[in-house]
Structure 1
Amino acid sequence: MTAFAANALLAAPDLAQTLGGIAFWVAFLAIHVILFGVTLVSISKAQLSPQSRKRWIWLVVLVPGIGIILWYVSGRPAARNRPSNA
């Protein structure tokens, strides 16, 4: 058996794990980019003062993970001020 064949046999189990890891991170990145874009559109359409809108956009751009979470947890004025139908 040649060294190339031995290396190919050893690398075969690792290839599936490597491809699975790559697929995971590509999907994670795609979801993050989509959520980032949706958040920026949501901020731009929200009824905010220009100064507040600018601060939210800077927060989401500079600290994306925390900024996105904060926007959906506490920042959306439409969700807070929506009248209830009860």
Structure 2
Amino acid sequence: MSDLGTTLAGIAFWTILLAAYVALFSATIVSIVRAPLDKRSRTRWILLVTLAPGIGIIMWFAKGRPAVRSSRTSLR
């Protein structure tokens, strides 16, 4: 009976891990599509993330994203 518990825990672990990966992959693709990039750069980033997902995702969030400009309004 303890084998069943171990099996179910393993299935739950891998399911959660897979769901987290799919969410991160999807967020990366959405981030690339929404970024102000030219068509060629966008296509290259999407290909990199699709063909080498681990490295591509890390590279996009580390170096690929354009700087986010914050528009602050001051109250006077």
Classify the TM-score, shorter chain. Answer: 0.7 to 0.9
1:63 corresponding residue in structure 2:
52
Shift of 1:78: 3.0
State whether structure 2 residue 43 is matched by structure 1 residue 54: yes
Runs of 4 or more above 3 Å deviation:
none
More helix as a share of residues: 1
Q: C-alpha root-mean-square deviation of aligned residues, in Å?
A: 1.6
Percent identity, please.
56
- Equivalent position SS for 1:19: helix
> Residues 47 and 78 of structure 1 are in contact (CA less than 8 Å); yes or no, is this contact kept in structure 2?
no
Per-residue CA deviation, residues 44-75 of structure 1 (Å, 9 max, x unaligned), is 01011111110000001111111111111111
TM superposition score normalised by structure 1: 0.75
TM-score (norm 2): 0.84
* Gap runs ≥5 in structure 2: none
- Larger radius of gyration between Structure 1 and Structure 2: 1
* Alignment partners' CA distance in 1, 2:67 and 2:46: 17
Unpaired segments of 5 or more residues in structure 1?
1-11
